[in-house]
């Protein structure tokens, strides 16, 4: 059983979030234009070294498949270059559909290979077209042409993120669609959403996962060609386990990735405060689910989905968590529970 993560991760201590957000577009453009980011002192110091230290922590946690450390806003990371380098509205010039963190990941892969004797298994999350459309000025009013162009842009990001070298391989690609559970609020039929998802993942060779927060609208990705794995946030939202069955997965020849560790920090901190505790946000072990609780969740979903369970890990990303120490503990404890 493979353990992976969902990408976002706290910045290292002392790194200013606004400064990182400001430097990010420069790194993205430089990477797209084939430049060595380490040769630019500013990019090397404020981007490469930041990503490198975070990615090394993820490696040290014991994850089998590691998502690049997503420190940038999951919407701006893709919408900004789409708007800046568009061939037509919301359709990006494929050259600029890149994730600069992968420049750092490729550099570290050789070191990983020499230490472990195996290729680094990489996971790459890209925000999906429906989620991106909701963050445009048009919001919940869906325009087919815009959604289609966003889907084509997402497809370009995915294709440009496939690594296949001696040292690293893209094991799984992911489209993040956390708002898909709100599909009944959109002015578009189910078939239109399926078409957009399929356009996003067209002609992709590695496995493709769709990251969902709720499985209320699971029938949409279940019906979409090119989607191999659905996610279920079974830790924070145990009701999700009743919204999909092994038979559903078998009927559509899909698999499930199970969330077994809670990451909904606000709820967890509120829960601790109600118990009279005062989490200080820095390495506070009580914020992380216990080893036994995580193990029991894993056993439960393993029993239900058996050979249709492809991987497990935290429910969602850890970008909002207060420190890298506690985020690292959560990843490491998740790995330990499965082991």
Mean pLDDT of the chain: 94
Query: The tokens of 15 are what?
Result: 């790194």
Host H or E run for residue 18: helix 17-32
User: pLDDT averaged over consecutive 10-residue blocks of the chain (339 residues)?
Assistant: 95 94 97 97 98 97 97 96 97 98 96 94 97 94 96 98 97 95 84 96 96 92 97 94 96 98 92 72 76 97 97 96 94 97
101, 103, 123, 233, 291 from 106: Cα distances, Å: 9, 5, 12, 30, 32
What φ, ψ does residue 14 adopt, rounded to 5°? 90, -10
Neighbours of 143 (CB within 10 A): 16
* 67/315 Cα distance (integer angstroms): 14
State residue 150's pLDDT score: 98
Topology adopted by domain 2-338: TIM Barrel (3.20.20)
Residue from 62, 54, 156, 154 nearest 104 by CA: 54
Tell me how far apart the alpha carbons of residues 96 and 245 are, in angstroms, rounded to a whole number. 40
- Residue 238 makes CB contacts below 8 A (sequence gap 6+) with none
Q: Which two tokens stand for residue 200?
A: 């996003």
**What is the number of other CB atoms lying within 10 angstroms of the CB of residue 200?**
32
Tokens representing 241 are 């386990």
Distance in angstroms (rounded) separating the CA atoms of residues 201 and 195? 10
pTM for the whole structure: 0.95
Tell me what pLDDT residue 61 has: 97
With vertex at residue 122, the alpha carbon angle to CA 117 and CA 125, rounded to the nearest 5 degrees, is 170
What is the domain partition of the chain in residue ranges? 2-338
DSSP labels for 282-329? SS-GGGSPPHHHHHHHHHHHHHHHGGGEEEEEESS--TTSS-HHHHHH
How does pLDDT run across 11-51, given as a tens digit for each residue? 999 999 999 999 999 999 999 999 999 999 999 999 999 99
The pLDDT value recorded for residue 53 is 96
> Under a CB-based contact definition with an 8 Å cutoff, are residues 252 and 220 in contact?
no
Residue found by looking up tokens 């992968």 in the block: 102
> Who's near 34: CB < 8 A, 6+ residues apart?
none
* pLDDT on residue 306: 96
Largest Cα separation within the chain, whole Å, is: 56
The first and second tokens of residue 66, run together, are 């590691």
Q: Please give the pLDDT value at position 279.
A: 57
What tokens appear for 92 in the block? 């990006």
The encoded tokens of residue 149 equal 């162009």
Q: What integer pLDDT is reported at residue 196 of this predicted model?
A: 97
Contact present, 279 and 253 (Cβ < 8 Å):
no
- The secondary element (H helix, E strand) that includes residue 127 is strand 120-127
3 state DSSP class of 236: coil
At 279 the three-state DSSP class reads: coil
- 34 contacts 281 by C-beta, under 8 angstroms: no
């Amino acid at each position: 059983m493979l353990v992976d993560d969902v990408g976002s991760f706290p910045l290292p201590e002392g790194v200013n979030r606004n400064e990182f957000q400001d430097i990010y577009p420069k790194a993205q453009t430089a990477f797209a234009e084939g430049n060595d980011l380490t040769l630019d002192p500013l990019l090397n110091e404020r981007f490469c070294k930041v990503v490198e230290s975070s990615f090394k922590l993820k490696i040290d946690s014991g994850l089998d498949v590691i998502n690049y450390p997503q420190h940038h806003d999951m919407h701006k990371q893709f919408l900004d270059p789409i708007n800046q380098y568009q061939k037509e509205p919301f359709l990006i010039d494929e050259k600029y559909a890149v994730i600069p963190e992968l420049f750092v990941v490729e550099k570290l892969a050789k070191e990983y290979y020499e230490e472990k004797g195996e290729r680094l298994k990489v996971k790459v999350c890209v925000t999906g077209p429906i989620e991106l459309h909701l963050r445009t000025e048009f919001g919940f009013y869906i325009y087919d042409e815009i959604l289609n162009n966003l889907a084509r842009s997402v497809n370009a990001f995915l294709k440009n993120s496939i690594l296949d070298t001696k040292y690293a391989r893209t094991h799984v690609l992911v489209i993040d669609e956390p708002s898909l559970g709100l599909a009944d609020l959109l002015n578009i039929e189910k078939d239109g959403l399926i078409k957009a998802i399929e356009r996003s993942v067209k002609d992709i060779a590695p496995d493709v996962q769709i990251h969902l927060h709720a499985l209320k609208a699971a029938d949409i990705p279940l019906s979409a060609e090119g989607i191999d794995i659905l996610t279920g946030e079974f830790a924070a939202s145990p009701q999700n386990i009743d919204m999909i069955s092994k038979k559903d997965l078998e009927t559509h020849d899909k698999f499930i990735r199970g969330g077994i560790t809670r990451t909904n920090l606000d709820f967890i901190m509120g829960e601790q405060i109600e118990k009279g505790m005062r989490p200080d946000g820095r390495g506070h072990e009580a914020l992380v689910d216990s080893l036994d609780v995580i193990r029991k969740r894993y056993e439960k979903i393993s029993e239900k989905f058996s050979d249709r369970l492809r991987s497990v890990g935290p429910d969602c990303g850890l970008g909002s968590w207060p420190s890298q120490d506690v985020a690292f503990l959560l990843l490491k404890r998740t790995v330990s529970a499965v082991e």
